[in-house]
């Protein structure tokens, strides 16, 4: 086996771990669908649709990643292989990766637009920052469209199978073909322009929507902490308090998984670019094991979102 390849026992354990977490997460997701249907009459149509998109995308992201796809990614190779159900049925790794990126982008967009929608409900009806439904819809469409561009571009990075086999057999001298693994590696030289465009698109989205998310978080926290309910009627007080509690739940759904994801990416950093908090892990684990640990941590994002939704569902309204 190649020096950075995963041990067969570790690979088997990770595959079973993916399936286990994916199964548990699916049950939790079904619970969120039930609660959303049960409490749907208390939600505005806009919030109900955004919540439904969020929960469906979280379910699809985890179910595909943990059960249908189960990828083992090797960044230094520019590819990897998969052990999921669809892979065993013949789905190419590249297509599985494209769909996973699509669910990640839709999930990220869902958090942003839901955060924006709840920010709008906290504003005074006469506030200049409160947008009309048509303008809010335009923002939602722009957000989803900007994110979805990335997996669409990634779809066209597919490398001819002959080149992939040469890289695996000759250049890297791996046994993936002999082991009948469903794999993919990318030849960066042939797609250098497209690869740069994808990178710049990702950076642009991070800058734009990262800034918007941070601003929304700060403004919402300020509105929550400084809200003056003493001058409100009892009915208005109750309605505003419900909106505040719901906003806290939405913030938790977005911020906690985001922080978890940032920490997860940090775990997967290679020794050459490692950060101090993970230096101890890097001393004992090789690159592929660090990346695998990052993948395993990623599987907890959807269950975390579902748990927050389940315990905070009474605040939606």
193 vs 9 pLDDT, higher one: 9
Nearest by Cα to 302 from 257, 259, 265 = 257
Radius of gyration over every alpha carbon of the chain, rounded to an integer in angstroms: 22
> In sequence order, what are the residues at sequence separation of 6 or more whose Cβ sits closer than 8 angstroms to the Cβ of residue 101?
150, 151, 154
At 315, list the tokens. 């605040």
Domains defined along the chain, listed by start: 8-315 (1.20.1070.10)
| Confidence band, pLDDT 50/70/90 cuts, at residue 68 | very high
> Distance from first CA to last CA of the chain, Å, rounded?
56
185 vs 228 pLDDT, higher one: 185
Mean pLDDT across the stretch 36-46?
Answer: 74
**Continuous segment of H or E residues that includes residue 292:** helix 287-298
pLDDT of residue 273: 43
Mean pLDDT of the chain: 81
131 vs 189 pLDDT, higher one: 131
- How many whole angstroms separate alpha carbon 237 and alpha carbon 121? 14
Strand ranges, E, within the chain? 71-74, 79-82, 182-185
Distances (CA, A) of 65 to 17, 60, 69, 293: 12, 8, 5, 14
Q: What is the pLDDT of residues 106-125, one digit of tens each?
A: 998 998 998 898 888 878 77
pLDDT of residue 172: 83
pLDDT of residue 305: 84
Mean pLDDT across the stretch 12-33?
Answer: 94
Taking the model in full, what pTM does it have? Answer: 0.84
- How many whole angstroms separate alpha carbon 250 and alpha carbon 243? 10
At 187, list the tokens. 């030849």
Q: What is the pLDDT of residues 165-191, one digit of tens each?
A: 998 888 888 888 888 999 998 876 767
- How many whole angstroms separate alpha carbon 107 and alpha carbon 158? 24
At 97, list the tokens. 């990766």
């Amino acid at each position: 086996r190649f020096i950075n390849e995963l041990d067969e026992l570790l690979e088997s354990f990770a595959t079973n771990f993916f399936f286990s977490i994916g199964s548990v997460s699916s049950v939790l997701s079904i619970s969120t669908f039930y609660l959303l249907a049960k409490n749907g009459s208390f939600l505005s149509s806009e919030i109900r649709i955004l919540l439904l998109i969020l929960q469906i995308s979280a379910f699809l992201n985890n179910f595909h990643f943990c059960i249908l796809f189960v990828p083992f990614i090797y960044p230094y190779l520019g590819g990897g292989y998969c052990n999921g159900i669809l892979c065993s049925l013949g789905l190419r790794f590249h297509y599985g990766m494209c769909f996973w990126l699509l669910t990640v982008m839709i999930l990220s967009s869902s958090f942003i637009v839901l955060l924006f929608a709840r920010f709008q409900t906290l504003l005074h009806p006469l506030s200049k920052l409160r947008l009309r439904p048509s303008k809010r819809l335009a923002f939602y469409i722009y957000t989803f469209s900007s994110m979805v561009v990335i997996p669409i571009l990634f779809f066209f990075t597919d490398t001819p199978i002959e080149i992939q086999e040469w890289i695996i057999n000759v250049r890297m001298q791996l046994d993936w073909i002999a082991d009948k693994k469903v794999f993919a590696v990318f030849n960066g030289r042939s797609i250098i322009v497209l690869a740069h465009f994808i990178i710049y698109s990702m950076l642009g989205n991070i800058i734009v929507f990262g800034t918007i998310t941070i601003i929304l978080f700060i403004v919402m926290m300020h509105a929550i902490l400084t809200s003056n309910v003493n001058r409100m009627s009892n009915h208005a007080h109750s309605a505003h308090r419900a909106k505040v509690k719901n906003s806290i739940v939405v913030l938790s759904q977005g911020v906690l998984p985001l922080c978890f994801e940032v920490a997860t990416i940090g775990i997967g950093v290679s020794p050459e670019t490692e950060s101090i908090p993970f230096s101890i892990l890097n001393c004992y684990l090789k690159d592929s094991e660090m990346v695998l640990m990052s993948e395993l941590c990623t599987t907890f994002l959807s269950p975390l979102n579902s748990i927050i939704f389940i315990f905070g569902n009474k605040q939606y309204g």
